[in-house]
Amino acid sequence: MRASIGTGVALVLVAAVATSAAAAAGDEAATPATATTAVKATIKDAPQAYLRGCLSNARGRMDGKFTGDGWTWHANYPMDSFIESYLATRDRAWLDAAVEYFDWCIEQLLTGPDGRKGWLGAAYRMPGRLGEYPLGDCLLLEPMLRFSELVLKDEPALADAYGKSAASYVALARQLIFEKWDHRGIWHEDGPCGVYTDWPWTFTEKEPDHWQPPPAGTHASTLPINMQVHWGMAALRLWRITGEPAWRDRALKIFNFAKSRLNLYDDHYSWNYWEPFGPWDIKPDRPQDFVTWINTHPYRDYQLGEVRAFVEAYQRGITFDETDMRRLVRTNLHVMWNGKTGDDVAWNNSNAGVQKGAFGEIRLPSKPEGMFNRYAGTLWTSLVAFDATARQLYEAQLAPGTWQHAFYHNVTAAQPPSFQRRLAPAEAAVFKAPLHPCCTITMVAVIPTVVQRGSDTVLACQGRLPGALKIELATADGGKVLRTLKEAELKLIVNHPWSTGDVKPGRYRIRWTLKGQYREMPVEVR
């Protein structure tokens, strides 16, 4: 998330990130139960009054007819709240408000130089130019797909009133989230994983008829994980709505990438905001450096949203298993939370455990001005699906009369905590990443992981500590080391080009060892 929040309205709306995370546990999927359960908590806001506030906030952030990257983040905030308010109250007026808000957002679409529609606005870090950031379509259409899933799959009785709208959102999501960006070439696959890159093409109002390529020295890079998972959730919803296996495959590759980059330590996970995936992520003039920063993001909203997506993937039988969910619970409640409640509650970021293991202390970043209380960890509210303590902590921060409070009491709390998958098919597609306990190494990557024999690949590593680094080739199961590929003094980064000309075709692992701890990544030589 890049957008900053500067108004009181937006501060209220940011809570949608947290509460929609609770919904990602799959609570709304238990339609018969939720549809008949008596309403225990009420919402003080009337649907139309709430809608007017949302529209006012979104209109105020437009630049004339233009929207753009920052606008889509803000326009996204209230979208799930309409759906959750309906699920909490069973009042269709909330769905009416949702359709009005969604359709208004769709009305703001403009046509780009190539004839494709998008939410166009100021180009990111390019003053005076207009562009389209790839994530904007996902941010707005994924909640619309959630609405469509509710109408077309969970509560068919809604189809008479809302089926036409739901179908139109599905068609638009196909077109804008996937077809458009696949055509523009920002989707990349490598083995079992896949990612999206950014797209720094721009135009001007004076020359609106063609996209201009990025300026010299500007390179597309892999998008951060907090952005990747929005595509993953959109694909998951399209899969359930349509039954088409291509959407399942797309979601699998996205979430497999995220899981492959998890850092296991002391039976919990930490992970970085950004991870390299392709050669475009290495600076061409500085091969020992990456195009962006690699570390855990200090703003709480990033991993809050990522965990929401991980939980949703788990509930649908994609990539993650129960062990993964239990490790996320341990991260949040044993590493990040200080164990206190009320005014004394405090949170570390998820890398607190690996920092303490590596440095003997937790190194907190300095809080910049204007970041209010977002510059720290927080409760990962989607974990309320699994854990009673998470529920207690979440309930304590809810104000009666809010839609968040009503949704929790009327929907979430109606089902006991459980690790039972709620939307999974008969057989889950769990990705088995080679995860080993390690606090000394921040990142490892094989770029690419599938390589033609005789070609080079890059064995990338970033350390949390300096020291003697050993890179080894091991069997596919990691049971036997076959040879040492590189020994080097690691200061921060070692990007080792490895020629595969003398390696038999097959599957292997690359192992990086630093101070007696190691991490591994698979590699396939064809």
pLDDT of residue 358 exceeding 90, the answer is yes
Give start-end residues of each CATH 1.50.10 domain in the chain.
31-429
Nearest to 56 by CA among 121, 7, 92, 1: 7
Confidence of residue 152 (pLDDT cuts 50, 70, 90): very high
The CATH fold of domain 441-525: Immunoglobulin-like (2.60.40)
- Segment holding 55, helix H or strand E: helix 47-60
CA dihedral 236, 70, 306, 151 (to 10 degrees): -30
Q: What pLDDT, on the 0 to 100 scale, is given for residue 371?
A: 54
**pLDDT-derived band at 35, boundaries 50, 70, 90:** very low
- Summarised one tens digit per residue, pLDDT across range 9-21 is 332 333 344 444 4
For tokens 């990705």, name the residue. Answer: 431
For domain 31-429, give the fold. Answer: Glycosyltransferase (1.50.10)
Close Cβ partners of 27 (under 8 Å, ≥ 6 residues apart) = 34, 87, 385, 411, 412, 414, 415, 422
Q: How far apart are CA 512 and CA 495, in angstroms?
A: 12
Q: Which residue has the tokens 């720290």?
A: 376
pLDDT at 427: 83
Q: pLDDT digits over 75-105, tens only? A: 999 999 999 999 999 999 999 999 999 999 9
CB 134 within 8 A of CB 232: no
| Structure token digits, residue 425 | 């098919």
**Chain Cα centroid distance, residue 209:** 33
Give the DSSP letter string of 295-320: S--SSHHHHHHHHHHHHHHHHTTEE-
* pLDDT-derived band at 215, boundaries 50, 70, 90: confident
Helix (H) or strand (E) holding 482: strand 481-490
pTM over 0.85: yes
Nearest CA-CA partner of 2 in 194, 191, 198: 198
* Interatomic CA distance for residues 481 and 471, integer angstroms: 10
Rounded to the nearest 5 degrees, what angle is found at the Cα of 329, between the Cα atoms of 326 and 333? 145
Residue burial 502-518, b: 16+ Cβ < 10 Å; e: rest: ebeeeebbbbbbbbebb
Are the CB atoms for 107 and 180 separated by under 8 Å? no
**Delimiting residues of CATH 2.60.40.1930 domain(s) in the chain:** 441-525
